[in-house]
Amino acid sequence: MAEESASGQRSVRSATRRLTVGVLFLAVSALLVLVAIGRWGEGVVAALISPWLFQQMLLFGIALVAAMLLRGWRTAALAAAGLAWTGGVLLPHLRVIEPPAQRGPPIRLLHANVLAWHAPEQRALDWIASVEADVIVIVECSNAWADAMLTLHARYPFRFIRSEPNPSGIAIYSKFPLSDTSLSRAPDGSLPFIRTVLHAPGGDVLMYSIHTAAPTKPKLVASRNAELAWLAEQVRGASIPVIVDGDFNESPYGRAYNAFVTVSGLRPARMGFGRTPTWPAGNTRITIPEIFRTPIDHCFTSAELEATSFRVGPDIGSDHLPLVVELQLAP
């Protein structure tokens, strides 16, 4: 009887293991399909999947370990393939290298999507003031945020402010003179952007500050992609150095992002400084851990500019974390 009982228990354990391995195999297969859709697909589904490539890579790693412990070698091989695929795409974005030495007058840029529906908090204003940025870009600049920023006007004599009671507000505050400043929309864009010429100590810089549509509906995905494609054409071959910053609502792993980089000829200031994710930061009740965030706020520059620092700021009460980027005109 004891031998029969032990044999029965082994059979149950073996059947449980096979079932678990089978379920894991299906899960890994489904995850591979999701990655493929995110990398090569179009439309809302692809736009919502592609930002989470880092998290997908982690899931492949977890699945690989689990499959090996369960001796599910076919599942382990499939998970290893997924891990190699996602890791290969992510590797350039995860690298941290020694930044170039500061050799010229810096341009310190602060970009923040402040969430139009959230009233400015004193801790956010104190942090913005403490950064001592040369240029501040506020996206989703509400009327309340424009009023709160009045305390910084003396430090930033050159300004262009279009506050709105919705996400279309945008403002730029600068210690350097601005010229040819305008508020425009791309032909198929949903939200306005600022175009200006920044008269920095090292020379003039053409600057675009943008906020594309969140890709939650087919028409908004089309709007976002069309705006990025149009903007890439505008800045390609510009006669002076270029900075493009903003909330792109697109990650480095999406097709629209990579098309923008290819056509514009600009380079991401983030490269070489790690993943530095900015969204979602959380809300007033919870904070989202960094491992569950993705980078959708960006700064790009032409070859004449190089980044000497790129960092994510603290929680300022928004669903986005701010960016602080230090640039210099390359010799």
Name the pTM for this structure.
Answer: 0.93
Ordered DSSP codes for 91-111: HHHH-B-PPPPP-S-EEEEEE
Buried/exposed 117-154: b ≥16 CB within 10 Å, e otherwise: ebebbeebbebbeeeebbbbbbbbbbebbbebbeeeee
**For residue 75, with 0-12 CB atoms within 10 Å meaning exposed, 13-18 middle and 19 or more buried, which class applies?**
buried
Q: How confident is the model at residue 91 (pLDDT cuts 50, 70, 90)?
A: very high
Task: Kindly report, residue by residue over 73-90, the tens digit of the pLDDT.
Answer: 999 999 999 999 999 999
How high is the mean pLDDT of the chain?
A: 94
Rounded Cα distance, 121 and 211, in Å: 22
**For residue 164, with 0-12 CB atoms within 10 Å meaning exposed, 13-18 middle and 19 or more buried, which class applies?**
middle
> What residues are paired with 198 via a beta bridge?
178, 205
Q: What is the mean pLDDT of residues 128-143?
A: 98
Query: Among residues 236, 270, 240, which one has the least CA distance to residue 248?
Result: 270
Q: What is the mean pLDDT of residues 30-51?
A: 96
Say if residue 284's pLDDT is above 90: no
